[in-house]
């Protein structure tokens, strides 16, 4: 499992919590980069679920994508793919303008 995002002088610390174990990292760099691997975990225990939480720290954080890879060949079993949409993700705070992109992303409002 890996987290990819931007690094640069505008970015700072973030925390990653995987299955209850948390550590701090930094996306700060002197020069701007895009889609850089910011964090990685390998050798995860087999099982149906892992819980990943990424928390922004003291500056901007730009998440590009998360990569998850499963070794199904080693198990000798049939495999299937389940795609979980981002509607299960939560955001504490508010979406804001990304100065590196030309679009404005907003949290959809729900009625009720």
Q: What is the pLDDT of residues 84-106, one digit of tens each?
A: 555 555 666 655 555 555 444 44
Q: Is residue 6 part of a domain?
A: yes
Half-sphere exposure of 98 (CA within 13 A, CB side): 14
Q: Is residue 87 part of a domain?
A: no
Q: Is residue 96 part of a domain?
A: no
The Cα–Cα gap between 99 and 112 comes to 33
Q: Is residue 97 part of a domain?
A: no
Q: Is residue 19 part of a domain?
A: yes
Q: What is the pLDDT of residue 106?
A: 43
Q: CA angle 71-77-78, nearest 5°?
A: 95
Q: Is residue 81 part of a domain?
A: no
Query: CA gyration radius for the chain?
Result: 16
Q: Is residue 47 part of a domain?
A: yes
In the sheet that holds 21-26, the strands lie side by side as: 21-26, 13-18, 52-56
Range of the domain at 62: 2-72
The Cα–Cα gap between 13 and 58 comes to 6
As a whole-number percent, the residues of the chain with pLDDT over 70 amount to 61
The Cα–Cα gap between 58 and 48 comes to 33
Residue 25 has pLDDT above 70, yes or no: yes
Q: Is residue 34 part of a domain?
A: yes
> Could you give the number of structural domains in the chain?
1
């Amino acid at each position: 499992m890996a987290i990819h995002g931007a690094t640069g002088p505008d970015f700072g610390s973030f925390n990653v919590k995987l299955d209850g174990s948390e550590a701090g990292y930094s996306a700060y760099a002197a020069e701007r980069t895009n889609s850089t691997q910011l964090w990685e975990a390998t050798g995860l225990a087999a099982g149906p679920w892992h819980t990943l939480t990424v928390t922004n720290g003291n500056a901007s954080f730009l998440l590009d994508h998360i990569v998850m890879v499963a070794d199904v060949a080693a198990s000798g079993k049939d495999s299937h793919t389940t795609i979980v949409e981002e509607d299960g993700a939560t955001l504490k705070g508010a979406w804001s303008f990304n100065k590196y992109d030309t679009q404005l992303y907003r949290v959809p409002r729900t009625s009720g």
